[in-house]
Amino acid sequence: MAGWVWLPRFVDKIRLHLVDQLHADYRPNFCVKGFDKAWLDAAGVEGDAFIEVVRNSTTDGEVCDWVRANAPGASEDRAAFKAKMENYGRDESNADLRALLQKRKDDADMGGRNDIQCFVDFIDADEGRL
């Protein structure tokens, strides 16, 4: 969406938040931590302001137009963000992050799943796409 990974999912999360249907597991980090905050920082957008953009839009296309005009980011920045997202938790040299990923897998009864190598994989598996 507008060249940004995570943005479609983030917009969906915001829409759920606006109607008080965002899953309880996602509420503590919503817009303040994790991938939501990483996208806001990379795009140079404030969380509350972006929530209002989504609130005042009818379609994802309107949000996309707003992002293109207000948070376009250089193609290198979008590519770096994409690489960071797709690999977060994959780095074997980051023992703490690997341990956190394993804990999340264990807590979700997926501890033995070797196909889950990063947090994006975990999210996909947890939500039934992997």
Clarify whether residues 114 and 75 are in a common domain: no
Domain count, the chain: 2
Clarify whether residues 36 and 69 are in a common domain: yes
Q: Which of 93, 102, 49 is nearest to 71 (CA)?
A: 49
Clarify whether residues 45 and 98 are in a common domain: no
Clarify whether residues 98 and 73 are in a common domain: no
CB 23 within 8 Å of CB 14? no
**Band (78; pLDDT cuts 50, 70, 90):** confident
Clarify whether residues 60 and 82 are in a common domain: yes
Clarify whether residues 67 and 119 are in a common domain: no
DSSP state of 117: -
Higher pLDDT, 56 or 75: 56
Higher pLDDT, 128 or 14: 14
Clarify whether residues 54 and 105 are in a common domain: no
Instruction: Indicate the residue among 72, 87, 102 that finishes a domain.
Output: 87
Clarify whether residues 48 and 34 are in a common domain: yes
Clarify whether residues 10 and 31 are in a common domain: yes
CA distance 72 to 78: 9
pLDDT of 73 > 90? The answer is no
Q: Which of 72, 87, 86, 51 is nearest to 1 (CA)?
A: 72
Clarify whether residues 69 and 49 are in a common domain: yes
Average pLDDT, integer, range 97-125: 93
Q: The whole model's pTM is what?
A: 0.82
Residues of the domain holding 41:
1-87
Clarify whether residues 58 and 72 are in a common domain: yes
**Band (116; pLDDT cuts 50, 70, 90):** very high
Mean pLDDT of the chain: 92
Clarify whether residues 62 and 8 are in a common domain: yes
